[in-house]
Structure 1
Amino acid sequence: MNTVTATKTNSLEQDKSVNSEHTQFTSPNVDQKPTTSFVSQFDTQASAKKEPKSSNVKLSTSDVHVYYGESEAIKGIDLNIYENEVIAFIGPSGCGKSTFLRTLNRMNDTIDSCRVTGKVLLDNQDIYDPNLDVVLLRAQVGMVFQKPNPFPKSIFDNVAYGPKLHGLARDKYDLEEIVENSLRKAGLWDEVKDRLSQPGTGLSGGQQQRLCIARTIAVSPEVILMDEPCSALDPIATAKVEELISELSTQYTIAIVTHSMQQAARVSDRTAYFHLGDLIEVNATEKVFTQPDHQLTEAYITGRFG
């Protein structure tokens, strides 16, 4: 069993992320607590997705525990994530879903006093192996954060940064092709092709988030992690990102944290329900919302707590 002691960080945003993950809110979001009618109407709202698209395990966790100091945030989670599936992590605030997501590409390494034990395997390789290149890992398992975070660079340079860093482009023409293809996959090319030299920070919130997705795609990841990627977006921008997730799942494995039952229903093949650091249930999304196996899951999705 490997133990990883995370390094310190000066990032205020990361500190806020940790604090929010461990905060219990007594006034839940309306979207977080669906009514029984939402559950009964699931078939009309969800897609036809029922089972993983592949039997090949892409990511696997075994007896994973995460500690912040002496506090145990994740309690021995075993989970397989399959190739080219979209899996949604749901649960009340402070349940550990974002903390668990961050273990899948070692983002918790950047949090002071964080310690991870257990096994996390990517294509059967232990990602917590001390000899593993963490920079390369985070290219293979990309992350899209809750708040869009474009670099203070041009739109072109935002997308080109990763390929330059990892030496993925042979020349400037190759780099231009990577940038264009990534922006096309992110559904952003037609909106920005005539202003690639302008700052990425000048885009709208939804466009910035798709730029961040394009930036992730540009380094040819195998897995994309999304931590509430639509929580800061308006409904129109949210719909575009959700449509994009469905399109990207044909090429990438995607794990998404969301507080929205409706969003989980729309985009995911499977849903995993977390409660106080435990993985309570994971199954096909339709089954989780219509015939959950555990009373805690049923209580959450019907709005009796959350």
Structure 2
Amino acid sequence: MTLHAAKSTGKPTKMKAVDVEVFYGEKPALKKVALDVHENEVTALIGPSGCGKSTFLRTLNRMNDVIEGCRVKGQITLDNQDIYDPSIDVVQLRARVGMVFQKPNPFPKSIYDNVAYGPRIHGLVRTKEETDEVVQRSLERAGLHKEVKDRLHESGTSLSGGQQQRLCIARAIAVDPEVILMDEPCSALDPIATARIEELIDELRTNYTIVIVTHSMQQAARVSQRTAFFHLGDLVEVGDTAQIFTNPSDERTQGYITGRFG
């Protein structure tokens, strides 16, 4: 496995989880997870299926709120503010902490309206000129503008899978979030589209903090600065990506990375 990941730079903590537990009914899905997410870095969450990594990702913008019977304990902060405080506006939180899902899910609207939707409902644009500017900038940042600039009024669902995923990334960044969560964003894509999304992730971390769930250890090694290994609801180990992959401190991490289980 080739390691390209840069070392973690010790940047400030953007989000912090302390003793986070998640229950579905009475069944624990996460147990006392403590993890810092550093600003302008990519943090990869790895581990076997059902280990809790996607559950943890969803705690970071309260997507678990919509799952019946799900309870979250502990504390998660964004810029030192508790995101589970009753005074928090969840809609505003999800504008600050955007999400890109496993399967591209463009709205059944035009490419333009997909990107403009968030800025419009959050009142971030008032005129057509402002909307045009946000749409163009977001598509450029998502590496899609050149490919679609002459077909902005075609349906977003007419794009290829890789283009649809970049459209969803453009839609997420159009509301100017601070953090972007990605739940296996390349699992439905071919290798060429995957490589384009990985390049994009590396470019985006200049402006955003990114947390990505991935089943591909090669992908985690390529795109992230920090890696967290989950197993059976426990956060086993977290550290610089190069260290996790070359010199893990826990034998369970070693076993997963070398393919002995998972």
Per the normalisation by structure 2, the TM-score is 0.99
> Aligned match of 2:14 in 55, 58, 67?
58
Q: Which runs of 5+ in 1 are unaligned?
A: 1-37, 39-44
Alignment of 1:159-170 (within 5 A): 159-170=115-126
Contact 2:5 2:224 (C-alpha < 8 Å) held by counterparts: no
Aligned partner letter, 2:8 = E
Distance 1:48 1:235 in 2: 19
> In structure 2, what is the equivalent of residue 78 of structure 1?
34
SS in 2 for 1:153: coil
- Please, which of 231, 239, 249 is the counterpart of residue 283 of structure 1? 239
For the aligned residues, what is the CA RMSD?
Answer: 0.7
Q: What is the CA deviation profile of residues 121-162 of structure 1, one whole-angstrom value per residue up to 9, with x for unaligned ones?
A: 000111001111000100100000000000000000000000
User: Which amino acid is the alignment partner of residue 295 of structure 1?
Assistant: E
Give the C-alpha shift of residue 256 in structure 1.
0.2
Please say if 1:69 is aligned against 2:28.
no
Residue 264 of structure 1 corresponds to 220
Q: Deviations over 1:257-292 (max 9, x none)?
A: 000010000000010000000000001101101000
Checking the alignment, whether the CA contact within 8 Å between 1:53 and 1:83 is kept in structure 2 is no
Q: Which residue of 2 aligns with 1:144?
A: 100
Change (3 A) 1:94 1:154: same
CA gap of 1:196–1:53, structure 2 versus 1, over 3 A, is farther
Q: Would the aligned equivalents of 1:53 and 1:84 in 2 still touch at CA under 8 Å?
A: no
How many correspondences in the alignment? 262
Give the share of equivalent positions with the same residue, in percent: 69
User: Aligned pair 1:177/2:133, yes or no?
Assistant: yes
Alignment of 1:153-164 (within 5 A): 153-164=109-120
- Asked whether the equivalents of residues 52 and 270 of structure 1 are also in contact (C-alpha less than 8 Å), the reply is no
* Partner residue, 2:66: 110
CA spacing shift, 1:116–1:249, aligned 2, 3 Å: same
Provide the TM-score with structure 1 as the length reference.
Answer: 0.85
Q: Which AA in structure 1 matches 2:4?
A: S
Q: Residue in 2 aligned with 1:193?
A: 149
CA distance in 1, matches of 2:19, 2:217: 27
Q: How far is 1:211 from its partner?
A: 0.2
Q: State which of 48, 52, 57 in structure 2 corresponds to 1:92.
A: 48
User: d(CA) in 2 for partners of 1:163 and 1:69?
Assistant: 36
The residue type equivalent to 1:269 in the other structure is: Q
- The corresponding residue for 1:13 is none
Question: Whole-Å Cα distance in 1 between the matches of residues 73 and 172 of structure 2?
Answer: 27
